[in-house]
C-alpha cells in the first residue's frame, strides 16, 4: 500500500483546482496510524463554494435537459467504473476511515447497487396520470429537478452516502456540490474522479473540501443552492434546519440512532449472538444503524450474556488494512475520548461492565485510536448509555420481563432509526412490526443491513420525514408539477356548478 502524501484541491467544473499558495489546509490521517497522512486538502470557504455553485449552475442547463434515459446510461457506466475500482476504493477506505476490508468492499458495493438502480430509474415513468373531473381534459404529474443541490456527508459511509445522495440528485437532473466529511476527503476526491472517468459531464458533481463551520456553512447559506441533503449528527442537523428554515430552503436530514435488538425467550440464541456481534461491533459500532442496545427477556439473559461475552472477547482488533482484523480503529482521538467518556458514564450510572471498556494503547495500537468491544449489563432504559448515541463499540444490555415492556423500552429513546426482534412467534413478529416506532424494522436479523432499493431513514429525531434510497429518494431532489391539458376547445371551470 502506497503511503505517499497527496496534496489535493477541490474538484470544480470537471477539474481539480489547486489551492492558491497561502490557503489554509487540513490533513486526513489513517485512524489506525496517525503518522500515516493520507492527504492534504484545502480549507475552503465562501469563495470556493461560490465557484462550485457557479460551475454547477452552468452544468445544470445542459444536464437537466439531457433525456433521463441518457442520464441513466451515464449512471450505468458509473456502476461499471466503480466495479472496476471496488478493490482500490476499499483499500483506500480501510486506510482513510478505518473500516475493515470486508465491510469497506460492502460500502463500495452499495454505491454500485445504487448506480445500477438509478440507471434503471432513467427509463421509468417518474410521474402519474389522473382522471379529470371534466370531459376532454387530461391531468398528469411530472417531476422537475430543483437546480443546484448541496450534499453534506459524514465519514462513516464515505462512498455509500455520497452515492445515495448524488446519484438520486443527478438522475433527477440536478447538479450537485458535495461537501464531504473532513475525516474522509480522499475518498470523495477519488469518487468524483471515477464518476467523471465514466462520462459524467463536468460540473454535474463538484467536490469542495473543508470544515463544517466554514465550507459547510457557506453551502447552507448560498442563495443559489436550492436544497440541502444532510447526513450527520443531531446537533448539526438542528443547525441545518434553522439556517435552511430561515431561507425557506428545502432540507433533508438523516441523523442519529439508538438502535436496539429485542430478544424474546423463544429466540434462537446462536442467531442472536451472530446478529448482535455483527450489529454492535461491525464498523467498530460507528454505523447510524449500529446495535447499541440489546433488550432481553430475563429467562434467556444468563445463557445469552455468557455466549455474547465469549464471542466479543475473541474479536480480533487491529488496523483495518489487515485482512485478519475484525474490529478496526475508531475514526479519531476526539471520538475515542467521547466513547471512553460514555464508558465512564455507564460505570457511574451503575451498569455492570462485562467486557472491554478500555482504549488499546500498547505497542502498535499506540499510533491509532482503538477501543475494545465493550458490553454493559444491568442497564436501565433511562440511563444515558441507553438513551444517547455513543457511536462506538459499546453494547448496553437491558433486561425486561415481557414483550410489552420490551416494546416500550425499544421505543423509549429520542431516535427512531432501526429496531429488530428475534423470536419464533408470528404473533410477536407482527405486533413488533406494528408497534416499533422506527423507519427500519428487522426480524431475526440485526439492526444493520439495509438494501438500497428500499426507503432508508427514521422517525423522531432521526430525521425530518424524508427517506433516502429507492424511488423515495426523488422526493428530496425534485419538485412536483401538476399539469392540466384541456382539449375541449372551450372554457371549462373545475368545481363550478353548471347552470341549469
Ligand atoms: P457531523 O454532524 O459532525 O458532520 C457531518 C457533516 O456535517 C460533515 O461533513 C461536517 O463537516 C458537516 N458540518 C459540521 N458542522 C457544520 C455546519 N455548521 N454547517 C454545515 N455543515 C457542517 O457528523 P459525523 O460525526 O460526521 O457523523 C456521525 C453522525 O452521523 C452520527 O450521529 C450518525 O448517526 C450520523 N449518521 C446518520 C446516518 C443516517 O442515515 N441516519 C448515516 C450515517 C451517519
pLDDT in tens, 9-28: 999 999 999 888 888 999 99
Q: For the beta carbon of residue 219, count every other beta carbon within 10 angstroms.
A: 30
Q: Which atom of ligand 1 is nearest to the CA of 391?
A: 31
Q: Which atom of ligand 1 is nearest to the CA of 456?
A: 40
Q: Whose CA is nearest to atom 15 of ligand 1?
A: 212
pLDDT level of residue 1 (50, 70, 90 thresholds):
very low
Instruction: Tell which residue, 277, 286, 391, 380, has the closest CA to residue 339.
Output: 391
**Which of 217, 232, 463 has most ligand 1 atoms within 8 Å of its beta carbon, as the pocket-test mutant?**
232
pLDDT over threshold 70, residue 4: no
User: pLDDT tens across 420-472, in order?
Assistant: 999 999 999 999 999 999 999 999 999 999 999 999 999 999 999 999 999 99
pLDDT at 137: 96
The CA distance from 162 to 236, in Å, is 18
Instruction: Tell which residue, 182, 181, 179, has the closest CA to residue 228.
Output: 179
Ligand 1 in reach of 351 Cβ (< 6 A): no
The CA distance from 160 to 456, in Å, is 13
Please state the rounded mean pLDDT for residues 186-202.
98
Q: For the beta carbon of residue 92, count every other beta carbon within 10 angstroms.
A: 24
pLDDT at 21: 80
Sign of the alpha-carbon dihedral angle for 401, 406, 412, 418? positive
Could you give the percent of the chain with pLDDT greater than 90? 94
Q: pTM higher than 0.75 for the full model?
A: yes
**Which of 212, 244, 389 has most ligand 1 atoms within 8 Å of its beta carbon, as the pocket-test mutant?**
212
Active site residues: 254, 288
User: pLDDT tens across 283-313, in order?
Assistant: 999 999 999 999 999 999 999 999 999 999 9
Ligand 1 in reach of 389 Cβ (< 6 A): yes
Ligand 1 in reach of 210 Cβ (< 6 A): no
Please state the rounded mean pLDDT for residues 252-274.
97
Q: Which atom of ligand 1 is nearest to the CA of 288?
A: 34
> Going from the N-terminus, what domains does the chain have, and what CATH number goes with each?
6-255+463-482 (3.40.605.10), 259-443 (3.40.309.10)
pLDDT over threshold 60, residue 90: yes
Residue 93 exposed, middle or buried by CB count within 10 Å (0-12, 13-18, 19+):
buried
The CA distance from 324 to 444, in Å, is 27
User: pLDDT tens across 320-367, in order?
Assistant: 989 999 999 999 999 999 999 999 999 999 999 999 999 999 988 999
Q: Whose CA is nearest to atom 32 of ligand 1?
A: 233
Q: Whose CA is nearest to atom 16 of ligand 1?
A: 212
pLDDT over threshold 70, residue 374: yes
User: pLDDT tens across 172-189, in order?
Assistant: 999 999 999 999 999 999
How many angstroms does the Cα of residue 154 sit away from the middle of ligand 1? Answer: 5
Ligand 1 in reach of 182 Cβ (< 6 A): yes
C-alpha to C-alpha distances, 176 to 49, 239, 276, 475, 476, nearest whole angstrom:
11, 21, 37, 16, 13
pLDDT level of residue 497 (50, 70, 90 thresholds):
confident
C-alpha to C-alpha distances, 67 to 78, 108, 125, 166, nearest whole angstrom:
17, 27, 12, 18
pLDDT over threshold 50, residue 95: yes
Residue 213 exposed, middle or buried by CB count within 10 Å (0-12, 13-18, 19+):
exposed
Could you give the percent of the chain with pLDDT greater than 70? 98
Q: How far apart are the first and last CA of the chain?
A: 84
How many angstroms does the Cα of residue 342 sit away from the middle of ligand 1? Answer: 19
CB 215 within 8 A of CB 48: yes
CB 438 within 8 A of CB 463: no
Amino acid at each position: 500500500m502506497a503511503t505517499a502524501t497527496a496534496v489535493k484541491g477541490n474538484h470544480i467544473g470537471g477539474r481539480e483546482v489547486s489551492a492558491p499558495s497561502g490557503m489554509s489546509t487540513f490533513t486526513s490521517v489513517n485512524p489506525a496510524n496517525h503518522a500515516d497522512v493520507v492527504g492534504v486538502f484545502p480549507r475552503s470557504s465562501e469563495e470556493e463554494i461560490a465557484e462550485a455553485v457557479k460551475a454547477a449552475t452552468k452544468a445544470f442547463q445542459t444536464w437537466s435537459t439531457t433525456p433521463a434515459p441518457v442520464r441513466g446510461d451515464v449512471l450505468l457506466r458509473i456502476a461499471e467504473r466503480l466495479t472496476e475500482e471496488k478493490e482500490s476504493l476499499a483499500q483506500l477506505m480501510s486506510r482513510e476511515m478505518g473500516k475493515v476490508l470486508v465491510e469497506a468492499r460492502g460500502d463500495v458495493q452499495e454505491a454500485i447497487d445504487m448506480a445500477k438502480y438509478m440507471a434503471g430509474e432513467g427509463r421509468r415513468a417518474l410521474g402519474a396520470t389522473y382522471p379529470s373531473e371534466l370531459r376532454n381534459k387530461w391531468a398528469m404529474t411530472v417531476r422537475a429537478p430543483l437546480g443546484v443541490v448541496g450534499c453534506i456527508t459524514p465519514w462513516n459511509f464515505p462512498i455509500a452516502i455520497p452515492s445515495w445522495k448524488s446519484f438520486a440528485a443527478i438522475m433527477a437532473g440536478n447538479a450537485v456540490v458535495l461537501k464531504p466529511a473532513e475525516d474522509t476527503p480522499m475518498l470523495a476526491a477519488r469518487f468524483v474522479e471515477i464518476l467523471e472517468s465514466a462520462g459524467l459531464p463536468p460540473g454535474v458533481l463538484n467536490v469542495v473540501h473543508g470544515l463544517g463551520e466554514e465550507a459547510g456553512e457557506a453551502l447552507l447559506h448560498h442563495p443559489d443552492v436550492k436544497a440541502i441533503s444532510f447526513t450527520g449528527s443531531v446537533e448539526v442537523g438542528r443547525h441545518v434546519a434553522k439556517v435552511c428554515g430561515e431561507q425557506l430552503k428545502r432540507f433533508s436530514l438523516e441523523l442519529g440512532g439508538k438502535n436496539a435488538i429485542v430478544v424474546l425467550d423463544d429466540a434462537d440464541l446462536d442467531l442472536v449472538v451472530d446478529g448482535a456481534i455483527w450489529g454492535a461491533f461491525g464498523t467498530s459500532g460507528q454505523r447510524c444503524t449500529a446495535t447499541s442496545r440489546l433488550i432481553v427477556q430475563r429467562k434467556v439473559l444468563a445463557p445469552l450474556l455468557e455466549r455474547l461475552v465469549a464471542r466479543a472477547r475473541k474479536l480480533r482488533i487491529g488496523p483495518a488494512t489487515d485482512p485478519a482484523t475484525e474490529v478496526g480503529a475508531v475514526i479519531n482521538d476526539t471520538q475515542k475520548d467521547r466513547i471512553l467518556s460514555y464508558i465512564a458514564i455507564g460505570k457511574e450510572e451503575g451498569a455492570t461492565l462485562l467486557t472491554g471498556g478500555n482504549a488499546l494503547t500498547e505497542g502498535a495500537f499506540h499510533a491509532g485510536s482503538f477501543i475494545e468491544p465493550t458490553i454493559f449489563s444491568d442497564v436501565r432504559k433511562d440511563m444515558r448509555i441507553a438513551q444517547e448515541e455513543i457511536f462506538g463499540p459499546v453494547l448496553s444490555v437491558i433486561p425486561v420481563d415481557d414483550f410489552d415492556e420490551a416494546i416500550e423500552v425499544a421505543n423509549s429513546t429520542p431516535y427512531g432509526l432501526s429496531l429488530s426482534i428475534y423470536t419464533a412467534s408470528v404473533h410477536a413478529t407482527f405486533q413488533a412490526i406494528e408497534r416499533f416506532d422506527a423507519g427500519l424494522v428487522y426480524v431475526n436479523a440485526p439492526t444493520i443491513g439495509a438494501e438500497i432499493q428500499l426507503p432508508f431513514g427514521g422517525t423522531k429525531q432521526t430525521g425530518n420525514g424524508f427517506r433516502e434510497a429507492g424511488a423515495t429518494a426523488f422526493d428530496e431532489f425534485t419538485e412536483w408539477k401538476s399539469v392540466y391539458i384541456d382539449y375541449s376547445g372551450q372554457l371549462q371551470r373545475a368545481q363550478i356548478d353548471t347552470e341549469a
